[in-house]
Chains A and B, each alone.
Chain A
Amino acid sequence: MDIFLQQLINGLVLGSVYALVALGYTMVYGILELINFAHGEVTMIGAMVALSVIGALVGHVALPGVVIVAMGVLVAVPVCMLLGFTIERVAYRPLRHAPRLAPLITAIGVSILLQNLAMIIWGREYVKFPPILSSATHQVAGATISDLQIFILVLSLLIMAGLVALVQKTKLGRAMRATAQAPQVAALMGVNVNSVISLTFIIGSAIAAIAGVMVAAYYGLAHYYMGFMLGLKAFTAAVLGGIGNLAGAMLGGLLLGVIESLGAGYIGDITGGFMGSNYQDVFAFFVLILVLVLRPSGLLGEQVGERA
């Protein structure tokens, strides 16, 4: 039971990060029907930029660890916003009328470009996250939860709530929903569709930057290749919940985190030691394939008829 609870907590923390990244995928897909393959790389750049700032500050200024990390995030977020904006402007906007494969290929191209750029700037080695955050832990019903885990979970939930409020309550949110539903009609109603799309990328990238820092803090390191798997899993989460649906992305992210965590924890027992926790990454893909085969619209997605 302790192990179950422990894995559940770990899964929820990991899942909340997946959910944050998944939001970026789902917002873009909802509006453009485009898989923004480069989104995982934006997350990675966010983590790397923040780590550079943190690395430069640690040991030179006498500030508490939380403040230093916050300063790193404050630099990483605008950098990623600019990056997201540029990616959309340069790689996707000119191809809106091209066949669907074309933007997919540019997305892959941007992804390769960013990965290798990061490799040139930050090197091939793992970049360490300095141990400046509180590592205190608490015992809850036999399971251990750290300050960092609580912090990640709470901050993720706050960001998600903020995003939902933005989309549901503000004028910009209404414009976004209108654009997702019917871009031409939205344009006729006076919505500046292009700037709505730009803003969608900017918001998604800002959230991705924060998620990137969370992952780096949680695992204690960052790597130029980290965005790939993270992006893939976040996309899986978005599909699991029903792509294009904000609540779906959050649910999908949390669920995927829990499935992965429990799966990795129990697979050894289930298969009699034949498969170990090194199969953790397989779960995401099995879940993805199962969902797409059994319920292609995702858990919370609307059932849409097949389009000819």
Chain B
Amino acid sequence: MLLGVLLAALPFLVDAGLGRTWVRILDFTLLYMMLALGLNIVVGYAGLLDLGYIAFYAVGAYLYALLASPQFGLHLPFWLLLPLGALVAGLFGMLLGAPTLRLRGDYLAIVTLGFGEIVRIFMNNLNAPVNITNGPQGISLIDPISIAGVSLGQTHTFAGIEFSSAHSYYYLFLALTLLVMFVSMRLQDSRIGRAWAAIREDETAAEAMGINTRNVKLLAFAMGASFGGVSGGLFAGFQGFISPESFNLLESIMILCMIVLGGMGNIAGVLLGAFLLTVLPEALRSIGDFQRWYFNRIIVDPADLRMLLFGLALVLMMLFRPQGMIPSAQRRREFKHDDAPQEPAPLYDQQK
């Protein structure tokens, strides 16, 4: 109850305390939470390492942008586009999943990485000879999301309270994030969720237990991808502009880092990871102020420094807490087990 009030009041508190920019950052945090929860299905639940997840986000975003912008003169409503985005992204997920079913571990990671890059390169180049994606310039003037005739792109006054665009999107994203969270939670302990866990732990044994590993793995890819597709559509409507630059490999890696840092397979951990990795790079922008205060001048451009610190943080986090901040109960046990003194220590663990 208290949490509910806090979540509802958050954009106003942030707006008053830190300014409008931070409300937008809050919106992005929710978007990344949805993405991270989607990837968590593939990586955390089913144990399939996916380094090209951003491709599905891109598919959802481009689908929305193409069908609701002056690019083709189409302006379809968002309640049609979001499910469509989920469906198409899900199909792309199957497309990626089908040929890679036999691959494991690192190999799967590299193939998915290649897939992500292929999608990006196509979006970058599909402007000639037929202009579909408008190439590197991207698509602009995308319709804002509008619900029942109320466009979220404008400021509205409701019951005497002023809702800016960033505020309205916050509530939409919050509702959808909660929905995605609910679905994730229900999935985890469902029949499918247990099948995913079985595949993650031991694929051969899972198959012997009568799990149709092919279908279950495809389902993981499709589910995770469709979450990505929905987030992508929301991103396009929220931002009003998309270009292939938003969907590079670093973004895929960022989302993976969110779930690994937060705690793979654990919803609370994933949410925390997404929150930290969205807010932290923004907060690191204030390094410039710190330098001015401490050295009286800017020594290193803060924009350059923040990614450097981010890389450093990744390394340190993995070195000192590889299980993530809030690991799932099962992973916590695994790590405890690993910490026990091992006399004849193997050089490296066998592939899990």
A95 adjacent to B311 (CB under 8 Å): no
B1 contacts partner chain A, Cβ-Cβ < 8 Å: no
A70 within 8 A of B: no
Which single member of B107, B121, B348, B349 contacts A239 (CB below 8 Å)?
A: B107
Cβ contacts under 8 Å, B113 to chain A: 232
In the bound complex, what is the Cα–Cα distance between A110 and B111 (angstroms)?
A: 21
- Interface stretch, picked from A44-52, A100-108, A147-155, is A100-108
**Residues on A with beta carbons closer than 8 Å to the beta carbon of B334:** 99
B308-352 toward A: CB 8 Å interface, digit per residue (1/0)? 101111110011001000000000001000100010111111111
**A100-B105, A105-B318 known; A110-B348 Cβ under 8 A:** no
- Check B202 for interface membership: any CB of A closer than 8 A: yes
Given A184-B344, A281-B117, A292-B100, decide whether A274 and B319 contact each other with a Cβ distance below 8 A: no
Which parts of B226-283 form the interface with A (CB within 8 Å)? 249-250, 253, 256-257, 260, 264
Chain B residues 104 to 132 lying within 8 A of chain A, measured CB to CB, are: 104-107, 109-111, 113-115, 117-118, 121-122, 124-125, 128-129
Contact B102 A296 (CB under 8 A): yes
Query: In the complex, what residues of A have CB within 8 A of residue B202's CB?
Result: 308
A105 touches B110 (CB 8 A): no
Q: Which of B24-32, B137-145, B297-305 contacts A (4 or more CB under 8 A)?
A: B297-305
Given A35-B109, A296-B107, A308-B202: A110 and B351 interface contact (C-beta under 8 Å) = no
> B115 to A109, Cβ gap below 8 A?
no
Asked whether A112 lies within 8 Å of B311 as measured between CB atoms, the reply is yes
Tell me whether B49 and A101 are in contact (CB under 8 A).
Answer: yes
Collect the chain B residues with CB atoms within 8 Å of residue A269's CB: none
B205 at the interface (CB under 8 A from A): yes
Give the docked Cα–Cα distance between A101 and B334 (Å): 14
Q: Does A4 contact B (CB under 8 A)?
A: no
Q: Which residue of A91, A96, A103, A116 has the most chain B CB atoms within 10 A of its CB atom?
A: A116
Q: Does chain A have a CB within 8 A of B307? A: yes
- Out of A105, A115, A289, which one reaches B99, CB within 8 Å? A289
Judging by beta carbons under 8 Å apart, are A120 and B114 in contact? no
Cα distance A183–B350 in the bound complex, in angstroms: 12
Chain B, Cβ-Cβ closest to A179? B347
Given contacts A116-B311, A274-B129, contact A106 B319 (CB under 8 A): yes
A116/B346 in contact, CB under 8 A: no
Q: Which of B257, B264, B319, B346 contacts A184 (CB 8 A)?
A: B346
B residues near A (Cβ < 8 Å) are 49, 99-100, 102-107, 109-111, 113-115, 117-118, 121-122, 124-125, 128-129, 202-205, 249-250, 253, 256-257, 260, 264, 300-301, 304-305, 307-308, 310-315, 318-319, 322, 334, 338, 342, 344-352
- Could you list some 7 contacts between A and B, CB below 8 A? A94-B319, A98-B338, A99-B352, A102-B318, A106-B318, A282-B118, A286-B118
Q: Which are the 9 A-B pairs with shortest beta-carbon distances?
A: A109-B314, A113-B311, A112-B311, A285-B114, A183-B347, A116-B308, A109-B315, A102-B322, A308-B204
**Besides A33-B351, A116-B307, A292-B107, 18 other A-B contacts (C-beta < 8 A):** A32-B348, A91-B315, A95-B319, A103-B318, A106-B315, A108-B253, A109-B311, A111-B311, A112-B310, A113-B312, A184-B346, A187-B347, A239-B107, A276-B125, A285-B117, A293-B100, A293-B102, A308-B205
